[in-house]
Structure 1
Amino acid sequence: MQETTLDIPSTAYTDSLRLSVAPMMDWTDRHCRFFHRLLAPGARLYTEMVHANAVIHGDRERLLGFDPVEQPLALQLGGSDPALLAQAARIAADWGYDEINLNCGCPSDRVQAGRFGACLMREPALVAECVVAMAAAVAVPVTVKCRLGVDEDDDYEQFAAFVDMQVAAGSAMVVVHARNAWLKGLSPKENREIPPLKYDWAYRLKAERPRLPVVLNGGIATVEAAQAHRQHLDGVMLGRAAYHDPYVLHLLECAQTGAPARSRTELLLQMQPYVEQWLDRGLALKHISRHLLGLYAGQPGGRAFRQVLSEGAHRPGAGWELVQAAIAVTGEGRDPG
């Protein structure tokens, strides 16, 4: 067992790791994150993965812009060049991000072709060089999100050695997506579903390294499951569940903090000023409303709510009144949660 000798993050930082929402391509944009912040005021939110080159050379307002209410907020970077990652991390820190996270878990062909994502688990020394460079460039925590291994890897000690190397390099925390990534033969969607989950590996990692903050990701869909994992780890990271059934994010926040649950409708009505502000700036409603579709999932009227928003939000001039109409068809104005 190897124990970290690094400075331990502050209590405020580790507290915010109790609940987080995973970085998800095409989903966790700034509008999604604003909505999730209303649902879970204490959760740590993550951006979509952004490649270091895009941060350096791209439209930074589009790629990095966020509302301060989204904080605590982490930027997830993709890349494998230490100098470029350090430069991108510095830019992100200057923009006000609270954490810089390196993606070592995405299995897509496009990401592999760029020599980043999950394939980096086969190059732990290179990842460590990246972490060292990023940590030297910024004052905020640098962290790593990884899988258990790649393809047929089935060696806990190899996985633990990868983590230890990144911690020694300066990673303040590790997010473990507790399954392997298959680089050939499975789509990114299948990679989130087919490789078996091995939560016990994450539990063991934490038990052997009690001072290292460890957050668990992968297959967590209910409050009960999340709370059970929290008995063993510093935090849980919800992915698709937080998007397809976002109210579970609110219920989990309440379970962890003791705050009373608020109704779906009450929470959604808080979005009105934000939505109208962006509509006034010329944004089409569909770019925000797509993140709201699952709020009434599994509830009476939930399918009708989704249908009203899906069919109407793309129409020119669609505004907040469409959201009100969608709420009305649920009959949940008095939603008890």
Structure 2
Amino acid sequence: MLDNIKDKRFSIAPMIDWTTTDYRYFARLFNPYTYLYTEMISTSAILHGNTERLLRYHADEHPLVLQLGGADIDEMTRCAEIGQQYGFDEININVGCPSDRVQHNKIGACLMAEPNTVAGLVKNMQAAVDIPITVKHRIGIDDFDSYEFMYDFVDTVAQAGCQRFIVHARTAWLQGLSPKQNREIPPLRYDDVYRLKQEFPSLFIEINGGITTIEEIKQHLSHVDGVMIGRAAYQNPYIMAEAMCLWGQTPPTRAQILTQLYPYLEQQVANGEPLPSIARHFLGLFQGLAGARKWRQALSGKQKLSVEEIQQAGDRVLALNPEA
């Protein structure tokens, strides 16, 4: 157990198509302390789309952060107000996504080149709501990859009132690399994030990028205020349960998690939600255990699926792993 865990944070990163409300409910069953994030949602989708469906969530998902993509001050401010009305605990500005599509709309990592724009967003959004406005960004973009570039960005945005920064410890290449390659090819520079915390001791600095084990989480928490993990928590969700050790608590078993999950699934079916698209989020539950492949096969590639079928598949794997 970390002595100062009450001042630290453990988060699951926003991931498009993955951190839906169904995944977030599932994630909450592993750990009550984890901060969960929505997918990045654009301001245009909220203002002109099905807002109710985009922002729906289960009450048990708190603490829950809404991540917004956009650069227009009026639109971002309005969406922050809507997020507060819907009961989100924080609003996060995406300054990290490197895809061509979001660059075209001035969303994501390209905004690192415009610190005054991001500062303006923070200032106006924070003035409109009572919940924190935070920023998730990279350590740099393209050839602007020096520590000094990141320092100046954070300094400018912090002066506008932002107190919490989540730093993906890789540079984003806006041309020449796909989003997937941008998560893997640029080298990780954790020391730059540690240095940022040292030079901005009053700011809450959270680190993200390439973190996959509890030992790595503990190591980072000795340098910064929080750790955010992404795909590791989706592909092997039990790491969220293992992280209960940070609070000195025993993790729930997979059997306990499934027992709590089934009533939720029954309710979703009653609401008319398609179970096969929900079940895709649970494929990694038994990662590394006997029967994991059979579990994945039972849940994936089906046009129809019942809660009973999921329960039977789970029982078969649990029988092979009595301690799971």
Same fold (TM over 0.5): yes
Q: 1:69-120 deviations in whole A, cap 9, x for unaligned?
A: 1011110000011111001100110110110000000000100110110000
Equivalent of 1:328, from 296, 301, 315? 315
Contact 2:236 2:285 in 1 (8 A): yes
4+ residue segments displaced more than 3 Å: 14-17, 331-335
Following superposition of structure 1 onto structure 2, how do residues 1-337 of structure 1 map, counting pairs within 5 Å?
15=6, 18-252=9-243, 254-312=244-302, 314-315=303-304, 318-332=305-319, 335-337=322-324
Q: Give 1:122's aligned amino acid.
A: A
Contact 1:128 1:169 in 2 (8 A): yes
Separation (CA, whole Å) in 2 of partners of 1:258 and 1:287: 35
Partner amino acid, structure 1, of 2:65: A
**Gapped runs of 5+ residues in structure 2?**
none
Unaligned runs of 5+ residues in structure 1 are 1-13
Q: Deviation of residue 227 (structure 1)?
A: 0.9
Q: How far apart, CA to CA, are the structure 1 residues paired with 2:262 and 2:7?
A: 26
When residues 170 and 256 of structure 1 are mapped into structure 2, their CA distance, relative to the original with a 3 A threshold, is same
In 1, Cα distance between the equivalents of 2:126 and 2:318? 51
Number of equivalent positions: 320
SS at match of 1:288: helix
Distance (whole Å) between structure 2 residues aligned to residue 331 and residue 162 of structure 1: 49
Question: Which letter maps to 1:203?
Answer: Y
Give the counterpart letter for 1:323 in structure 2. Answer: I
The amino acid across from 1:287 in the alignment is S
The farther-off stretch of 161-170 and 194-203 is 161-170
Q: Do the aligned residues in 1 keep the contact of 2:166 with 2:207 (CA within 8 Å)?
A: yes
TM-score (norm 1): 0.92
How much does 1:311 deviate?
3.8
Residue 332 and residue 197 in structure 1: after superposition, are their counterparts in 2 closer, same or farther (change >3 A)? farther
Distance 2:277 2:151 in 1: 40
1:53–1:88 contact (8 Å) kept in structure 2: no
> How many angstroms does 1:153 deviate by?
2.3
Amino acid at match of 1:250: A
2-side partners of 1:43 and 1:16: how far apart?
A: 13
Q: 1:67 to 1:17 in 2, by over 3 A?
A: farther
Identity percentage over the alignment? 47
